[in-house]
Structure 1
Amino acid sequence: MTSHTYDLIVIGAGPVGENVADYAHKAGLSVAIVESELVGGECSYWACMPSKALLRTGQALHAAEKVGVTGTLDVAAVLKRRDSFTSEWNDSGQVEWLTGAGIDLVRGHGRLAGEKVVEVTTENGTRTLHATHAVVVCTGSAALLPHIDGLADVAPWTSREATAVEQIPARTVIIGGGVVAAEMATAYQALGSTVTVIARSGLLGASEPFAGDLVAAELRSRGATIVHGSPATVSRADSGEVTVTLDDGEHVVADEIIVATGRTPRTEDLGLSSVGLSDGDWLSVDDTMRVTDVEGGWLYAAGDVNHRALLTHQGKYQARAAGMVIAARAQGDEASNPVPWSDYVATADHQAVPQVVFTEPEVASVGLTAKQATDQGLDIRVVDYALGNVAGSALHADGYEGQARMIVDESRQVIVGVTFVGPDVSELIHSATIAVVGEVPLSRLWHAVPSYPTISEIWLRLLETYRAEA
């Protein structure tokens, strides 16, 4: 057994852990990062990057078709391009970056073993790491498998298998109606699979209602089937066929099954009980990412594992705050009670989280939905406008269809939520994010003139509609 001491120990070398380590090290701390799989984590190899690579070619082809260009999709080429973005599941490039950044990598399974102590099981034995200041848990989340009779016995795919697929099944059944389910349905349908989605309450229930409706309509127009029901049993025949029996007795038969019904924290074997927490739980944190239920203030958690906002970009945002505040506290700076919107806190997690769902059409949103704003007791006005009526949209694609919604807090005259649904709206959402985070008054936003003819002219139309309805 060997022992080493660092200022900071980070468990998990995904994008979140890498950012915590980088920001803390740049501020002067010695840092070790522990990883049991591939450096770069879920997003690099089994989620964000490969899934978007699978989606992009189909989106590009459909976009070309909408301006009069026709073509066919080469599935093998799509999978090869996907492989290039995962570096063939080789993390040597990421490791080289860590080394160059001055961060020590310890490969193995890390577990907490008491206050500021991490034990790492490696191929060559156990290493004990001691932290002088802090330990940060960045282990992320894993796909949640629901308790459905027979499901575990049929070797279901989760997002990992679905994004790393080597051969597209002829028929795919997807259980779930959230982001992963909608994106995989879009990708697999474009890649030639006959897709059935089993979604009890429809698609994208956390978004504005029109978002799920428009995505579902597009999937159906391309041949997918969406079933509203709950799976009762799942079985796989000797031939390999999977049969899902719904609670109403209906059967869905496919060649493979993808389960996309939520996430669970990767804390089951993390040694949380050694510091007074429960193994397998989400970790509750304050806005500096410090775990609230551990004495001494030395344990932090950033990214999915704290259950604040399960998005890579939001986890990286949290990581920046955590890395900076840990370094500041270690060096005696006044950071123990940082103010909102300072470098040391993740204030935007609460009501200014941006998200893009890369379906067809895309769904891009930031802040609150109308329902969320109403539930919070805000005095709001909802402003809707058809995206297809903007000149830039008509140029972008023949028959462009989409919808925009702006939620205005009437008492403060600021925007608290925006949702865009339509082709390529992902590139619109950062302007909305700036408006929400910056709490830009509508009177000042009126002077942010959108270029013509672009889809960004939607901002003028939304503001004009708001004034007309006043």
Structure 2
Amino acid sequence: MRETDVVVIGAGPVGENVADRAVRGGLEVVIVESELVGGECSYWACMPSKALLRPGAALRAAQSVAGVTGGALDPAAILRRRDGFASDWDDSGQVGWLRGAGIELVRGRGRIEGERRVLVDGDGGQTELVARHAVVLATGSAARIPDIPGLREARPWTSREATSVGDVPPRLVVLGGGVVAVEVATMFADLGSSVTVLSRSSLLRGMEPFAGDLVRDALRERGVVVREGARIDEVRRDGGTVRVAFSDGEVEADEVVVATGREARTRDLGVDDLLDARGLLDVDDTLRVRGSDWLYAAGDAAGRVLLTHQGKYEARAVGDVIAARARDGEVDDAPWGRHVATADHAAVAQVVFTDPEAASAGLTAAQAEDRGIRTRVVDYDLANVAGAGLLADGYAGRARAVVDEDRGVLVGLTLVGPGSGELIHAATIAIVGEVPLARLWHAVPAYPTLSELWLRLLEEYGL
């Protein structure tokens, strides 16, 4: 048995941040991990996927400026570069970081066996961990495999296999229309695959409708077949060929990728009786499980916002509040306080690394309306910004701002176009800071940059 102040189950970026903040707060922490330290984002999601997406975007960015000629993608070199960003699936560097931060690692699968008690099954046997103050679930999420006849038997890829691919399949079918689906379609089209996307709904339906429309059109221009409104009837594998039957016909491919959503890894962790129908725990804004004074969940395991950066934000709040409560210190749990994750509700930023990029912060117009906010929507053609024309000949993009008319503040911004990902954080700051538009008018953007969009949006609004 090993006693410590805090036990964190899961050593991905969320668990690492919880542990780091708790240690900085003067607590002793043991972190438990059954796979690679660093988690999904480091080895099978954020880092390798963006490494695969960047070369194609960079080439098209160069070729979109008159005077630049030539250039070609080298798939083998792209995969080698990806390997570097995934640390060759070796977590020794991350383990070294834990050690340097004063965090103890226990390898194995952790399960809660009682109040503040965690039993870890590892290669060396079982280890019992007892937490004096808190246990935190930071176990992430896994790809959801829908119940489609023959799909599991067809041995589909998930995002893990797609981002760690060694041999690029000549033909690929992607099931889904969300962020993972459109990014996978983009990267494999760049790598030379013939790609078909089958989506039950329009693409990127969680964003403003025009985002999915522009991304779909760009994919089609690069030869990707996109079928929206496709109902998958059956999937079967015959030797090296996968056949997907759907509402409008059948398509053959060498591999099929399932990108139809994710689900929290909270089952079989000793908390099944606390889970709702979606497999989620009911947590407050300090990410503590309601009804408990010792159990927390953060990141995908909490199920609030399934984005790495938002999970790390939650993790910082969790580590800090556990340390504060352990010292009987002051807990700042009012909205926007140090120990809460208020931004989860109204100021989440996201970038979809397709080409063009799609980025958003805060609420869509529909979401704001659902919350009873009296809004005004301001649309603008990004191609009319001087900096856009300098960035790319024939630049195409669009922006939509959602304004709370009663408070005179921005509550949402969606951008589609090259450079959108680096532009969106300004909107996040404006939303979190609740900056009045009349004051935002005095934040003069540099000319000629894409940021001149802010001036144009405010002018369209009437300032």
TM-score greater than 0.5 by the shorter chain: yes
What do residues 203-233 of structure 1 show as CA deviations (whole Å, max 9, x unaligned)?
Answer: 1000000000000000000100011211100
Counterpart position of 1:62:
60
Question: How far apart, in 1, do the equivalents of 2:432 and 2:454 lie?
Answer: 16
Counterpart position of 1:75:
75
Cα 1:368/1:276, change in 2 over 3 Å: closer
- 2:134–2:322 CA contact under 8 A, matched in 1: yes
Superposition pairs of residues 186-335 of structure 1, within 5 angstroms = 186-228=186-228, 229-238=230-239, 240-248=240-248, 250-273=249-272, 277=275, 281-292=279-290, 295-335=291-331
Counterpart position of 1:459:
454
- 2:275–2:282 CA contact under 8 A, matched in 1: no
Which stretch of structure 1 is more off in the superposition, 337-346 or 37-46?
337-346
- 1:45–1:89 CA contact under 8 A, matched in 2: yes
Residue 377 of structure 1 pairs with residue 372 of structure 2: yes
Residue 84 of structure 1 pairs with residue 70 of structure 2: no
Given residue 63 of structure 1, which amino acid in structure 2 is its aligned partner? A
Cα 1:32/1:377, change in 2 over 3 Å: same
TM-score (norm 2): 0.98
- 1:16–1:302 CA contact under 8 A, matched in 2: yes
Question: How far apart, in 1, do the equivalents of 2:275 and 2:262 lie?
Answer: 20
- 1:12–1:35 CA contact under 8 A, matched in 2: yes
1:282 positional shift: 1.4
Tell me the number of residue pairs that the alignment of Structure 1 and Structure 2 aligns. Answer: 460
Q: Find the residue that maps to 1:271 and give its secondary structure.
A: coil
- 2:399–2:415 CA contact under 8 A, matched in 1: yes
1:265 positional shift: 1.2
What do residues 123-174 of structure 1 show as CA deviations (whole Å, max 9, x unaligned)?
Answer: 1110000000000000010000000000001110000000000011111100
- 1:173–1:254 CA contact under 8 A, matched in 2: yes
Counterpart position of 1:181:
181
Residue 133 of structure 1 pairs with residue 128 of structure 2: no
1:268 positional shift: 2.0
TM-score (norm 1): 0.96
Superposition pairs of residues 10-21 of structure 1, within 5 angstroms = 10-21=8-19
Q: Find the residue that maps to 2:448 and give its secondary structure.
A: coil
Question: How far apart, in 1, do the equivalents of 2:424 and 2:90 lie?
Answer: 32
- 2:274–2:281 CA contact under 8 A, matched in 1: no
Identity %: 62
Q: Which runs of 5+ in 2 are unaligned?
A: none
Counterpart position of 1:114:
114
Question: How far apart, in 1, do the equivalents of 2:236 and 2:449 lie?
Answer: 50
Q: Find the residue that maps to 2:99 and give its secondary structure.
A: helix
Question: How far apart, in 2, do the equivalents of 1:277 and 1:419 lie?
Answer: 33
Residue 403 of structure 1 pairs with residue 398 of structure 2: yes
What do residues 21-77 of structure 1 show as CA deviations (whole Å, max 9, x unaligned)?
Answer: 000000100000000000000000000000000000010011011013231000000
Q: 2:49 aligns with which of 28, 34, 51?
A: 51
Given residue 95 of structure 1, which amino acid in structure 2 is its aligned partner? V
Given residue 63 of structure 2, which amino acid in structure 1 is its aligned partner? E
Residue 416 of structure 1 pairs with residue 411 of structure 2: yes
Given residue 52 of structure 2, which amino acid in structure 1 is its aligned partner? L
1:271 positional shift: 1.6
Q: Find the residue that maps to 2:407 and give its secondary structure.
A: coil
1:277 positional shift: 4.9
- 1:19–1:320 CA contact under 8 A, matched in 2: yes
Question: How far apart, in 2, do the equivalents of 1:247 and 1:401 lie?
Answer: 33
CA RMSD of aligned residues (A): 1.2
1:297 positional shift: 1.3
